[in-house]
Structure formats: structure tokens, C-alpha cells
Amino acid sequence: MTFPAISTTPQLGAALLKHLDDQLRSADRMLDLVLRQARAVRVRDIEVVLSLVGQIQAESDARARLEADRTTLLTQAGSLLGVHGSAITIDAFCSLLDPASAFEARERSERLRGVLREVRDEHLVTRALMRQELAFVDHLVRLMGAGDDPNNGTYAPPTGPRSNAAPARQPHRLLDLQA
């Protein structure tokens, strides 16, 4: 869709650049958190992983507020261009700005897209690592006898003789350590 050129609006341009800066700071914080979480998962530091989950959630909440601001900006630009805010692209928005502000906005928008792609990719890798670690923990718990209770599937250490006439399970040696 081609948008007609409209006279520049300095306030809208300043608001867009500020918003993009806020988005970049938030995305950089999110990337840092996701990278730290990936390192913690790799070294199996559960406390750090759980702490970072809370921090990631807080940053996600902050990003939701930024998205509300983004919607407001797009709606304003859309009203100036005579289209719905959801139809506004960075190029359409930049048609409202002076050339220097438009250049800065495109540059920041491109950087933001790159950081958000990196956050997404790292988050997917971290989730896969966590699933792998949880599968291993699940395997260990099953080896120790969990899942024997079909009612709830929670871990319960074996007790007394079994009534189902099945042979008693032999203990598994998970670790063979010697001091």
C-alpha cells in the first residue's frame, strides 16, 4: 500500500524515536536475561534459573506496556494518513517525518527487529534445554520408583511388600561414589 506524503509532525517523530529507544532498552534487557538464563540452565543452577524466570516475566509485563504505547503511536499515525493503525508500517510512519528522523527511526526499527529475533532464538534454545533437563530429571525420578501410584503419578518411595504379586524391583545404582 502506498501512503501519500503528509507534512512532517515533529512531536510524533520525537515520540516515535523515544518509543523505539524504550523498546530497544527493553529488548536488550530481555536478551541479557534470556542469555543469563541459558547459561544457568547449562550449569544446572536452579536458583538462578527460577530467579530469572521472575525477571523475564517482569520484563515481559513492561514490554506489554510498551506495546500499548506502540498501538497509540500507530493509531495517531493512521489517523494522519487516513488508514487504520494496524496498516501502518515503518515506511508509512516515516512518510510523516522529516528525513533525518525517518532515517533514525528506520535504523532503530531494524536494530529492534534484530534484537527481538535474537531474543526469540535464544529463548527457543533455552526452552529446549530446559525440556531436555526436565526429561532427564523425570527419567531419574521414574528410576527411583515414581509413577508407581497410578492415582497421582507423584513420587512415593517404595514401601513394604507389594500386593500385586509382581516381583520386587531391584534398586538402581544412579551414582557409584567413593570417598
Q: Which candidate, 110, 92, 144, 85, places its Cα nearest to that of 23? A: 110
Give the pLDDT score at 151: 58
Q: Can you give the length of the chain in residues?
A: 179
**Can you give the pLDDT of all 179 residues of the chain as single tens digits?**
444 444 457 888 999 999 999 999 999 999 999 999 999 988 988 899 889 999 999 999 999 999 999 999 999 999 999 999 999 999 999 999 999 999 999 999 999 999 999 999 998 988 888 787 777 666 667 777 655 555 555 555 556 555 555 555 555 555 555 54
Give the pLDDT score at 165: 53
Give the pLDDT score at 1: 44
Give the pLDDT score at 33: 96
Single pTM value for the model: 0.69
Give the pLDDT score at 5: 40
> Using an 8 Å Cβ cutoff, are 135 and 128 in contact?
no
- Give dist(CA 26, CA 10) in Å, integer: 24
- Give dist(CA 145, CA 154) in Å, integer: 10
- Give dist(CA 69, CA 78) in Å, integer: 14
Which domains can be identified in the chain, with CATH numbers?
Answer: 10-143 (1.20.58)
CA dihedral 163, 166, 167, 173 (to 10 degrees): -90
